Structure 1
Amino acid sequence: MNKSQVFDDYFSKETQLKNEKIQIWLEHSLFTWQWWFGVIVLLLSIFLWLKFRKKPSTDRLLYSGFFVMISASILDILGHNLGLFHYHYEVFPLTVNYLPWSIVVIPVVVMFFLQYKPDANPFLKSVIFSSLLSFIGLPFLRFIGIYHPVKWNVFYSFIILFIIYLIAHFLVQRDKFEKVET
């Protein structure tokens, strides 16, 4: 078997599994109360952000928020692909990460923390943030059947979220931006 055929066989199996996942999603996830929970959390988080953000700081907060979104998503995908945890009741069938959590909730909570008492100790805020999401948020998602740790401990999430918050805090403090010139 040549190398090209090995890759083609793998792609064929992967496509078959994706089709099976879509079928499972359609039959067992779509429109369940857990699916609606994800949709509502996603929309509510966006609405709260739009309503209560500090409007003059929107660009600066989004700069950090996009970093958080990308970091959380990549780490979520990596954790899933390494078999450390997985999610059920995804809002969209072809994602392996739980989009309401990694794309919306984590970044929005970070941005609210960044704008609330911006001069407060960032280490204390990071401890509070990562504790809330790791020791309350993830166990709650596990309790309602969305999050399923396999080889993962919430303390790992605490450390990762702690670091992500501190980097986001560092980024929101940057003021060396210049206009893009043509």
Structure 2
Amino acid sequence: MLNEIENLTKQLHQMEMSYWFHHDIFTFQWWFIVVVNVLFFLALLFLIDKGRTLRIILAFMFSFVILGTIDQIGQYFELWSYAHEFIAFTENYNAVDFLAVPSIFALTYQMFTSWRIFLVASLFVCLFNAFIAEPIFVALDIYHLDHWSYFGSFIILYFVVILVKALTDFVGRNNTTDDYRSTTQQVFQRKQKAR
């Protein structure tokens, strides 16, 4: 049985790579995935608060890992699927928005620090992603909702963004996650006040 599974997995991987090379890479949909992800990631790099760089990167990484894991689970249980992928041989880059959504979540974390405002802003971010962005990906035949709904995506995204803030705030309380620059600024300000 195990040998049969290994052989079928090997055949599946060969078929996926063949499809990706001959029918996916450099298509309009593939370029759309590239452009969307690069633009949002560049926006994050351009807009990142230099005084809180480590915290924002932490929020980005938490988002990337959690969303990637959820995406793999959803694909495994055939809740959704992707007709086009950025890179076929790694699961983390299958999602059409593998960098875009973590970048958006990191920027949301950066811009809205208090929980009350963050929850409201995240609500709008998740509504936009689930009910506007995802239908665009479906219309472009990049993303398929096999046994899933936009509302389900909204619930998952909202849960994830709240979890990301909670984890980032918890880990960020440790002084070792403070940026060197912000610590230096605090010392400089104390010296200015002492004068």
* TM-score, normalised with respect to structure 2: 0.83
Paired position in structure 2 for 1:135: 131
Per the alignment, in what secondary structure is the counterpart of residue 161 of structure 2?
A: helix
2:84 matched to 1:63?
A: no
Q: CA RMSD in A?
A: 1.8
Among 137, 149, 152, which residue is 1:153 paired with?
A: 149
List aligned pairs for 1:1-182, cutoff 5 A.
6-96=1-91, 98-102=94-98, 104-119=99-114, 121-174=117-170, 175-179=172-176
Amino acid at match of 1:42: N
Aligned residues: 174
The runs of at least 4 aligned residues of structure 1 exceeding 4 Å deviation read none
**Code of the aligned partner of 1:124:** V
The 3 A distance-change label for structure 1 pair 58 and 99 is farther
Higher-Rg structure is: 2
* Structure 1 residue 42: Cα displacement: 2.2
Q: Distance in 2 between matches of 1:107 and 1:70?
A: 9
Contact 1:64 1:111 in 2 (8 A): yes
Structure with the higher helix share, 1 or 2: 2
Separation in 2, partners of 1:170, 1:75: 18
Distance 2:96 2:131 in 1: 18
Contact 1:85 1:151 in 2 (8 A): yes
Task: Measure the CA separation in 1 of the matches of 2:53 and 2:83.
Answer: 33
Question: How big is each residue's C-alpha offset from its partner over 1:68-120, in whole Å with a ceiling of 9 and x where there is no partner?
Answer: 11110011111111011100120101245634513x11110011111223235
User: Structure 1 stretches of 5 or more lacking a match?
Assistant: 1-5
TM-score computed with the length of structure 1 as normaliser: 0.88
Shift of 1:19: 0.2
Identity, in percent, stands at: 24
Q: Give the Cα–Cα distance (whole angstroms) in 1 for the partners of residues 173 and 41 of structure 2.
A: 28
CA contact (8 A) 1:86 1:149 kept: yes
Which shows bigger deviation, 33-42 or 13-22? 33-42
